Structure 1
Amino acid sequence: MSTTQSSPNPSTQDVDFCTLGMFILDDIEFGEGIPPVKGALGGAASFAVVGARMVAGREHSQSVSWIVDVGSDFPNDVLDVIRSWSTKCVIREDQGRLTTRAWNGYGPNEKRDFKYLTPKLRLEPDMLSEEQVFSRTFHMVCSSVRCVSIVQKVLERREQLLQKGYVPSSPAAAERPLFIWEPVPDLCTPEEQERFLTAARVVDVVSPNELELGMMFGRPGWDEKNEDDRELVRKILKSGIGADGNGTLVIRAGKDGSYSYSQGHGIWLPAYHQPDPSNPPPVVDPTGGGNSFLGALAEGMISQGRTPVETIESVLAQSGSWKNILQTWGKDGQIPLALICATVAAGFVVEQIGVPKISEKDGKELWNGSEFTERVRLYTQRLYRTLEQSPQRHQLAI
């Protein structure tokens, strides 16, 4: 196996984001007479990286790092797309195997069935470079047991490197990283419930979607309006999220946005694309929307002082309701800001099959023809209006 760095201009930027998700080429079947798609650039890693990369922007693109395993059948045009993002991507080439491929089938309510078509090559913490091990955030899509193992191994590797004299590139890189965990859908079952609660206690953010959260507790789904479903949230928070018990549960709800809870408080944010009978939203394919949401969330959590977060803060500076939300979240006030970045990123990803297209015009970086920060501004302006009209819609009681 040979390993190369995909960026033509390696930098000394800290690694802000690293995913242990896999790169996958996707075959997608939508049903309802929509033609299937073969070999689309996908996998949790690709979509999470796109989300993080949007928030990072061109200036911090090298802070986003990941591993792509290339097999003998890897398409050159896909490699070109990856390189166009200018991330700190490690490409591992092995001509003795096929690239990991999978089948995705969609049913009612965006329910997804998934299976691998070729053998998968799972990423392990010992495969990460020293730079990647000292990432400020980590994204994982895995079982509860594997989640605990990954966190332990990452922290152990960091400690071992420090003891051997390794010097992180900055004080921020030496601090305990943030772990964002996406439970693997097919293990969201009642039998897995206690292991799920155990894993939640070692991460900073745990994020099932509303169907997966319901399934974990033997229910058909999760609905914020249902008292029994809100009790599930209280149970998870009481069990504890994170090392100090004050981590965050983020419930991704597709077209209904996201519901996020920490100890004593919660927030609802609508999806970027809202239903409009007179002007239907340009939503084509939900594949990867959740992954990109969490990649952007992770990057947003450590992006204080950068353009997307400054844009949000500028638009909402005069909102008393927003100030109250930030005060309620206290030291975790970066979470609501990061959730806005995550919502906007997911809005780009669902507009086409596969990943959004990056381009440049008049010196500006565009995704699907729009600036990420401009969409952040537009979304935040809409949020400002609803916050002032009905703040109770956004602040969730637990």
Structure 2
Amino acid sequence: MSKQVHLRIDDSVYEALTDYTESAGISVQESVSFAIIQMLDKQRREMKVKSDFTFIDLFAGIGGMRLAFEKNGGHCVYSNEWNKYCQQTYFANFGEQPDGDITKVNAADIPDHDILVAGFPCQPFSIAGVSKKNSLGRATGFEDKTQGTLFFDVCRIIKEKRPKAFMLENVKNLCSHDRGHTFKVILESLDELDYDVFYSVLDGQNYVPQHRERIIIVGFDRKRYGHDIDFKFALTPVSPKPVIKDILDSSVDTKYTLSDKLWVYLQNYAAKHKAAGNGFGYGIAPVDGVSRTLSARYYKDGSEVLIQQKGKNPRKLTPRECARLQGFPDSFKIPVSDTQAYKQFGNSVVVPLITDVAGLIVKKLKKLDSSNKTN
């Protein structure tokens, strides 16, 4: 939903604006909207905010990890997300439009921060046959290993800003990608940056009614804290364990019910693959249990998480139910279409799980900082 605003501007300003929009290949509306957002961002950055620590939010999506670190007392000083629809949702909830293409961002321009947070995409890594002995400062260090991947941008920002700690999130398959070679390069690159690194595959079903395994990588600066850093993923799951019926609306629009055509197709598709010995097919979520993993393709047919209905075809989850399945609060605004919302929540994180991990990182940093002061 959008509002209309009528502006009166001088002829000279209008001419300059027209020239700019023509050369930039954007509309006057886009240009004015961007200028207003920039003004609001500037005002927000200039506000004095009390916080326990600062962090940046890279590959921010719609801000699930920002919610987690803010809940632990942090203040976000910079965010980056290229997708324009995610930017919309991010702005609606945080009053800040993230920067765009991270590959074009000068790391030195990013504000100093205590913790770097990133849900970086997993891209193929091109290894140039560089020997392990090459140091970080040389052209044949981690830059050769990760150049051309978005993980390289995380590394160059860590190298430039040297945060006290970082937390990276990715799909579970990152560990096995390219027979483990990708993950090996990631760990070696972070080690070369002189950080003690810890990682674990964690399942969101201990916090929300969804089986969702993700790898979490945490690092602490050895230059600041030394080599004897001990960190454990000592999580505190939600109790009692949530189930699907906890996130469902009592009344749902009929548009979310599968059409006869789609329902027949999904049943035939499942039967065909079952006969072939495959496990592919739709998934009816048990109301007293947990669902399959919600994915970004959910908007297509909702097949991985369907809700049984009495006397009707099954239905998809609503965008709000998807938000709850990922642990977002009901106060979280959804300003985009259902299709975009499904993509966004399917790509997001389990917020309470990340909140738990963030709390452990903050607790460890406080202990490390306290120890540094007494030494």
Do both proteins adopt the same fold according to a TM-score greater than 0.5, normalized to the shorter chain? no
Larger Rg: 2
Structure with the bigger percentage of strand: 1
Q: TM-score, normalised by structure 2?
A: 0.39
